[in-house]
Amino acid sequence: MITLENVTKIYQSSNGSVTAVDDVSLHIKEGEIFGIIGYSGAGKSSLIRMLNGLEKPTKGNVIVADRNIANIKGKELREARQEIGMIFQHFNLLWSRTVRENIAFPLEIAGVPKEQRLKRVDELIQLVGLQGRENAYPSQLSGGQKQRVGIARALANNPKVLLCDEATSALDPQTTDSILDLLVDINQRLRLTIVLITHEMHVIRKICDRVAVMENGKIVEQGEVLQVFRQPKQTITKRFVQQVIEPEETKETIAHLIDKYPRGNVIQLTFVGEAAEQPLIANLTRQFQVNVNILQGKISQTHQGSYGVLFVHIDGTDEEVAKAIDYIRQQQVGVEVITDVQ
């Protein structure tokens, strides 16, 4: 659905040039939710804005739904844009228009006759759950409701792709989750390809199928979300993964535990998918001569399955502990013996 080939974006300014996107190649499949994560200034916005031609790449090709967005302009670009919806961090609604009129705006642009427009707007209001607020002005809506209007507006012309530029970054955690649920719902119901950028791993974890990590204008790592959670390769990716699976105080706690349990081993278990749902600890104590203490743990739900981290303390003879660890390995559970904390 979307292919980027060696895309570079360089901004010229009075105090030199900035390479915001540096030779990025990427393929996004039809119907998937693809996330791009990176810290502020990584070049995420520049990248996503090239997907609908709001920025022109300095070099490279940007192919969206079989059209090279980098090369077209005028009428052709405007038509291409009607097939690419976009939502924004600050919603960007017209305050002079009601909810209904805001949602009708892209339909007016596309030249949809009035009667059909009204019908389509009503469908969209149902889709995003804004019944009863049709005649409100944006200033009378909450952040979450504003983003729902933004989503309805972006979907009005039945686009093939939805671009989300930090769409939940201005919202509180609860509202963020409800907007993310709505995006998944839309993705499944309409088979819409969604590209989203964010600096929050929570967003990636919750709804993305695949993720790319961006740093200094480059994609430094990409893959299936669960895979990236299981085996993050780059330091930056590890930091992002830690954002959601380890609370801030984990390191401190672990250091404390190692001091507290001079005997035995503190080990970190990483569960992915189905492994997270079996009675591993019960089996361990039943089958081996070991004592298992659960120290700390957290299971997160990703779009593709659950993912969990558990810190346990295992005590017993060296032989039994080794057997127990072997057993754990056979259960598709990642094991890491922690002896010290860096």
Partner 1 sequence: MFNSLLPNVQWDTIWAATVETLYMTGIAVVATFVLGIILGLLLFLTSKGNIWENRLANAIIAAFVNIFRSIPFIILIILLIPFTKLVVGTILGANAALPALIIGAAPFYARMVEIALREIDKGVIEAAKAMGATTATIIWKVLLPESLPALVSGITVTAIALVGYTAMAGVVGAGGLGNLAYLEGFQRNHNDVTFVATVLILVIVFVIQFIGDFVTSKIDKR
Instruction: Establish if 15 lies at the interface with ligand ADP (CB under 6 A).
Output: no
Give the nearer residue to partner 1 in terms of CB position, either 62 or 309: 62
Judged by beta carbon distances under 5 to 8 A according to partner kind, the member of ligand ADP, Mg ion, partner 1, none in contact with residue 54 is: partner 1
Give the nearer residue to partner 1 in terms of CB position, either 54 or 335: 54
Between CA 26 and CA 111 the distance in angstroms is 34
Sheet of 84-88, strand order: 84-88, 161-165, 193-198, 33-37, 210-215, 218-224
Contacts with Mg ion by CB under 5 A lie at 45
Query: How far is residue 18 from each of residues 22, 75, 126, measured CA to CA in Å?
Result: 10, 30, 44
Q: Which residues, numbered 48-107, are part of the site for partner 1 (CB under 8 A)?
A: 52, 54, 77-82, 84, 86, 88, 90, 92-97, 105-106
Judged by beta carbon distances under 5 to 8 A according to partner kind, the member of partner 1, Mg ion, ligand ADP, none in contact with residue 11 is: ligand ADP
Between CA 261 and CA 314 the distance in angstroms is 10
Residues in contact with ligand ADP, shown as a per-residue x/- string from 31 to 70 under the rule CB under 6 A: -------x-xxxxxxx------------------------
* Least spacing, CB of residue 137 vs partner 1, in Å: 4
* Least spacing, CB of residue 132 vs partner 1, in Å: 18
Give the nearer residue to Mg ion in terms of CB position, either 167 or 207: 167
* Least spacing, CB of residue 164 vs ligand ADP, in Å: 12
Backbone angles phi, psi at 322, to 5 degrees: -60, -40
Query: How far is residue 301 from each of residues 38, 183, 206, 208, 243, measured CA to CA in Å?
Result: 21, 16, 7, 11, 14
Judged by beta carbon distances under 5 to 8 A according to partner kind, the member of ligand ADP, Mg ion, partner 1, none in contact with residue 339 is: none
Contact 273, 3 (CB under 8 A): no
Q: Which residues, numbered 126-165, are part of the site for partner 1 (CB under 8 A)?
A: 137, 139, 153, 157
Query: How far is residue 144 from each of residues 37, 130, 173, measured CA to CA in Å?
Result: 22, 10, 11
Listed ranges 12-20, 26-34, 59-67, 315-323: which one lies at the site for ligand ADP (CB under 6 A): 12-20
* Least spacing, CB of residue 48 vs Mg ion, in Å: 8
* The amino acid at 87: I
Contact pick of 3, 8, 10, 18 for ligand ADP (by CB under 6 A) = 18
**Three-state SS at 279:** coil
Number of residues assigned to the chain: 342
Judged by beta carbon distances under 5 to 8 A according to partner kind, the member of partner 1, ligand ADP, Mg ion, none in contact with residue 82 is: partner 1
Pairing of strands 265-272, 218-224: unpaired
Burial of 258 (0-12, 13-18, 19+ CB in 10 A): middle
**Which residue has 């969209």 as its token pair?**
124
Backbone angles phi, psi at 179, to 5 degrees: -70, -40
Torsion sign across C-alpha atoms 45, 47, 50, 51: negative
* Least spacing, CB of residue 291 vs partner 1, in Å: 59
Give the nearer residue to ligand ADP in terms of CB position, either 107 or 236: 236
* Least spacing, CB of residue 11 vs ligand ADP, in Å: 3
Applying CB under 8 A, the residues found at the interface with partner 1 are 52, 54, 77-82, 84, 86, 88, 90, 92-97, 105-106, 108-110, 137, 139, 153, 157
Residues that bind ligand ADP (CB under 6 A): 11, 13, 18, 20, 38, 40-46
